[in-house]
Chain A
């Protein structure tokens, strides 16, 4: 497994840069991975999304779709695109330490 250093945190990642082992996730990793994705600082709205995605991942084994996030009442689709510009589902999953979303929508 390749290693990648995000700021001060070095972790094992898969070929596409997603965290290999979720148990290695930390808030420090999230903040550093966010910077790497062009998000300067994670605010409360970002954390709400990250925490919901992790909860869903633990329950269902996969990251929720954008539709599910919208329906959950955690974040609207518009807000999600504003919070994680340029690829919200992928970026949020990466920061949350989850696998790359596989669905088409």
Chain B
């Protein structure tokens, strides 16, 4: 039998629901299988753990071919909000929690959460801007140190 995966470090770099959920699901799923998991939030992915923004993450209706609708329609006011609300309802039905609850759940499951130092500096953020589940703000070198010996997944 192949060697089992023992550790994963997942980087979430995009700020839309389709950027945030896959990483959260993979990290949580890793913990459910007894795999050590780290989440590293960078660039717009950082919204996932910013207290003021984590509950307002939307799905992009423009420039997203997966939406199966013309981009012109996606520009209409309220379109992104409507698509987001529909997706949230569907997610809840299949027991996938809203982002803030998901962040809490994955942290409670033992996954460690980190924020990217370069992005924090670029957006002039402070530790207080983040939800309490964020362990620390780390640079890329520290990330590699933490990820050592495991797999790295970039989303």
Contacts and interface: CB of A to CB of B under 8 A. Distances in A.
B105 A66 contact: yes
Nearest to B92: A67
Interface stretch (A5-13, A18-26, A44-52, A76-84): A76-84
B32 A87 contact: yes
B110 A67 contact: no
Contacts of A67: 95, 97, 101, 105
A51 B32 CA distance: 20
Given A65-B95, A86-B34, A76 B108 contact: yes
Contact of B32 (A66, A68, A76): A66
A74 B81 CA distance: 35
A1 interface: no
Interface residues of A, number: 18
Nearest to A65: B95
Contacts of B25: 104-105
A85 B110 CA distance: 11
B120 to A, nearest CB: 27
Contact of A77 (B34, B94, B96, B105): B105
A105 B96 contact: yes
Interface of B: 25, 28-29, 31-34, 94-97, 101, 105, 108-110
15 contacts: A65-B95, A66-B105, A66-B109, A67-B95, A67-B105, A85-B34, A87-B32, A88-B32, A103-B95, A104-B25, A104-B96, A105-B29, A105-B32, A105-B95, A105-B105
